[in-house]
Amino acid sequence: MSLIDGKASAAQVRARVAQGVAAFREKTGRAPGLAVVLVGEDPASSVYVRSKGKATLEAGMESFTHRLPADTDENTLLALIDQLNGDPRVDGILVQLPLPGHLDADKVIAEIDPAKDVDGFHVINAGRLSVGQDALVPCTPYGCIHLLKQQHGDLSGLHAVVVGRSNIVGKPMAQLLLSENATVTIAHSRTKDLPALVRQADIVVAAVGRAEMVKGDWIKPGATVIDVGINRLDPAPGEDKGRLVGDVAFAEAEPHAGAITPVPGGVGPMTIAMLLRNTLVAAHRREGLADPEGL
């Protein structure tokens, strides 16, 4: 069994992005710019936004963070996005989710220029991905594919089971696996005999958002397990906060798996690395340049 080191892989991607940023600056006289919009003070979102801003600067890009109060109305938020759509310094726009309940996330995402949609959530990018055209691809599934290709090289003919059907991870993950010639099954909470289905998989991608739902005896011996979930358990007696776990029962699954991502330290670091990659790609396309090589 091998542990898939997402931190190390992310560091490699970020180093290549930094090289690409330097080359882009030399060609164009400017750095790529990423704008992040945070509405409200959700603690987890605030941490993510700080991490993204730090990583953006470390890559040599410009970082623009817009923090809005939780009671911001929809028109104000949409007006800010329109302003960022028209800002020549901004190549990528990311609106941190989840939004406060009174805001319509679908409407907000639809307002983002698809060419600047570095989260890959706009329906135009989703549609382009689904028909195999160039698109800005959601960062988490793109990071998962990167880890799988590092592990296997060629994914052709492997049976992948994706547990979860969200627009953010499950569906784009399936499309990316299909583009690598894997045979793909999407499973979900209504799937009949889910354990038996997962046991057929050479690759298991767990992205269902339920702590330790995928048990060890669901895993086919030697399968590669990519755990997208991040869930905090209730604290045990004497603990300040509960530990973080994935959607896979790691201790149970580890003896069965050929390779597995830990939580934390697996998929998570790849998400930010691919956000930087998407911003650099968006900058190239906006300047009429070929996509950067090696990314």
Does residue 284 form part of some domain? no
Greater confidence (242 vs 128) lies with 128
> From edge to edge, which strands make up the β-sheet containing 92-95?
62-68, 33-39, 92-95
Q: Which of 52, 116, 171, 220 is catalytic?
A: 52
**Mean pLDDT lowest for which of 108-112, 194-198, 235-239, 269-273?**
235-239
Taking all residues of the chain, what is their mean pLDDT, rounded to a whole number? 96
The sign one gets for the Cα dihedral 206, 258, 261, 156 is negative
pLDDT digits (tens, 9 = 90+) for 75-112: 999 999 999 999 999 999 999 999 999 999 999 999 99
**Across residues 267-284, what is the average pLDDT?**
97
Question: Is 249 found in the same domain as 202?
Answer: yes
pLDDT in tens, 280-290: 999 999 999 99
In this predicted structure, the answer to whether residue 193 has a pLDDT above a threshold of 90 is: yes
Q: Is residue 220 scored above 90 in pLDDT? A: yes
The helix (run of H) or strand (run of E) holding residue 245 is strand 244-245
At 149 the three-state DSSP class reads helix
The secondary structure element, H or E, covering residue 227 is strand 224-227
Residue 286 belongs to a domain: no
Domain total for the chain? 2
Backbone angles phi, psi at 214, to 5 degrees: -85, 115
Q: 290 in helix, strand or coil?
A: coil
133 is catalytic: no
Residue 168 pLDDT exceeds 90: yes
pLDDT of residue 189: 86
User: Domain for residue 8, yes or no?
Assistant: no
pLDDT of residue 247: 97
For residues 283 and 47, the model is more confident at 283
> How does DSSP classify residue 154?
-
Band (43; pLDDT cuts 50, 70, 90): confident
pLDDT for 167 equals: 94
Among the options 91, 96, 171, 175, which is catalytic?
96
| Residue 251: pLDDT over 90 | yes
- Would you state the pLDDT for residue 237? 82
Q: Are residues 167 and 103 part of one domain?
A: no
The answer to whether 33 touches 248, Cβ cutoff 8 Å, is no
pTM: 0.95
Find, among 209, 122, 105, 128, the residue nearest to 165 by Cα: 209
119 is catalytic: yes
Burial string for 283-293 (b: 16+ CB within 10 Å, else e) reads: bbbbeeeeebe
User: 26 exposed, middle or buried (CB, 10 Å; 0-12, 13-18, 19+)?
Assistant: exposed
How far apart are the two ends of the chain, measured CA to CA in Å? Answer: 28
Give the pLDDT confidence of 12-36 residue by residue, as tens digits: 999 999 999 999 999 999 999 999 9
Compute the CA torsion angle 4, 180, 174, 191 (nearest 10 deg): -80
Q: Which two tokens stand for residue 72?
A: 């911001």
Contact partners, residue 103, CB within 8 Å, separation at least 6: 39, 72, 74, 77
Q: Kindly state whether residues 169 and 260 are assigned to the same domain.
A: yes
Inside any domain, residue 276:
no
Mode of pairing for the β-strands spanning 2-3 and 259-260: parallel
Q: 87: buried, middle or exposed (CB in 10 Å: 19+, 13-18, 0-12)?
A: middle
- Which of the four pLDDT bands, split at 50, 70 and 90, describes residue 140? very high
Q: Averaged over 127-147, what is the pLDDT?
A: 97
| pLDDT attached to residue 241 | 82
- Residue 275 forms part of a structural domain: no
Q: How many other CB atoms are found less than 10 A from the CB of residue 50? A: 13
Share of the chain above pLDDT 90, in %: 91
Residue 143 and residue 112 share a domain = no
Domain that holds residue 43: 28-116
- Catalytic residue list contains 96: yes
Which distant-in-sequence residues (6+ apart) come within 8 Å of 180 by Cβ? 145, 148, 149, 154, 155, 156
Position 239 pLDDT exceeds 90: no
Residue 273 lies inside a defined structural domain of this protein: no
207 and 91, same domain (yes or no): no
Mark whether 254 and 145 lie in a shared domain: yes
Active-site annotation holder among 91, 113, 119, 227: 119
